[in-house]
Amino acid sequence: MGILSGKTALVTGGSRGIGRGIAERLGRDGALVAVHYGSNEAAAEETVAGIVAGGGRAFAVGAELGVDGDVEKLVAGLDAGLGTAPGARRESAEEWALDILVHNAGLNFMGRPIEVLTPEEFDRMIAVNVKAPFFLTQALLPRMREGGRIINISSVSTRVASSGGSIGYPLTKGALDVFSRTLAKYLGPRGITVNAVGVGFTHTDMTADALADPAHWESTVSRTALGRVGRAADIADAVAFLASDDARWITGTKVDVSGGVSL
């Protein structure tokens, strides 16, 4: 049996990149995983199929984040999926319980320095990266089991200033870090831990184009102490640790999972 057997997890943005890696790892560890996606249903179903093929349990739930009604739609999808999912833990005959909540979905308008970032782009990042995690957590807290886990995917950009003037995205992740610390204190009496994971340069769909430039790749590697670009599995393994009982005494902190960027 996996170390997360009997647990139920939601991973936002779980259809691709880091989110997919997290969903797959939690599935391998035995959790029933709700794989959230914003628009790419095919990618989410592919992630689910991979988890199931490996002997795990998962289902997809779709809801575009950062728009009106996003939280309500996502929770309704969870109701539908977990209402019929085998092995879903329930507090009563009517309600399911959630053990692990991973806020991974995020939006970054890359290469948009302060001179050119528009109010619409800024508002969109705030809506997806800050507002959605806040109000999704608000909606799901009544269904979080005592001793649960909330894990927020943040960024190394909150401690390393961008040389290109890209400020909007780090601002949103800084807000998420504050959210993590404050929520950790507030939920401590329930035994729910809340932590952030500071992601560094990682090869994903979002970064593939930039990293395809050999000069950019070499620059990235040279700034990383461990001498390579991160992989989704590097982040997923850290999240799996924080989701496990081994991390029961860790809360209100940010784990730097960047390979030592700009040390």
Task: Pick the closest to residue 202 from 19, 37, 42 (CA basis).
Answer: 19
Active site residue 186: no
CA dist 34 and 23 (Å) reads 8
Out of 169, 179, 201, 241, pick the active-site residue: 169
Euclidean distance between the first and the last CA atom of the chain, given in angstroms as a whole number? 39
CB 86 within 8 A of CB 5: no
CA dist 34 and 7 (Å) reads 11
For residues 160-196, one letter each, b for 16 or more C-beta atoms within 10 angstroms of the residue's C-beta and e for the rest, the string is beeeeebebbbbbbbbbbebbbebbeebeeeebbbbb
Task: Pick the closest to residue 33 from 16, 18, 47 (CA basis).
Answer: 47
Catalytic residues: 169
